[in-house]
Amino acid sequence: MLRVALAAGAALTLSLGLPVVAQAAATGDFIYANLNGEQSTLRGPEDGVCYPLDSGTHTVVNHTDRRATVFPEHGCVGTAVTVPSGSAVNGASFVVQSVRFG
């Protein structure tokens, strides 16, 4: 009987002690034009995910409800620039290669 009570208590402790982490998605679009002038759109991007941008870009428009952080290298590395929700960057000082939201 004591073993059953201890097992139940341990199971309850584990179930309450482990947080559930859900990926949130931004609402809206992130628009960019690659270096060839072709426009692309990320729709409802997930927070915390690094998105590569085809061919790089100097121009981005953040129509999402999240902050976008743009990077000069693939894999979301390098010195970043933050693009607030509802803002745009036209003529970035570097070729933007990747972006992360949240």
pLDDT digits (tens, 9 = 90+) for 10-47: 444 444 454 444 568 899 999 999 888 899 999 999 99
**Average pLDDT value for residue range 50-73:** 95
Contacts for 62 with CB less than 8 Å, ≥ 6 apart: 30, 68, 83, 84, 85, 86, 87, 88
Compute CA distances 97 → 2, 57, 66, whole Å: 59, 7, 19
How is domain 22-101 classified at the architecture level of CATH? Sandwich (2.60)
Whether 1 shows a pLDDT value over 60: the answer reads: no
**pLDDT at position 39:** 95
Residue 63 is which amino acid? Answer: H
**pLDDT at position 67:** 98
User: What pTM was estimated for this model as a whole?
Assistant: 0.76
Determine the Cα–Cα distance for residues 57 and 39; give it in Å rounded to an integer. 10
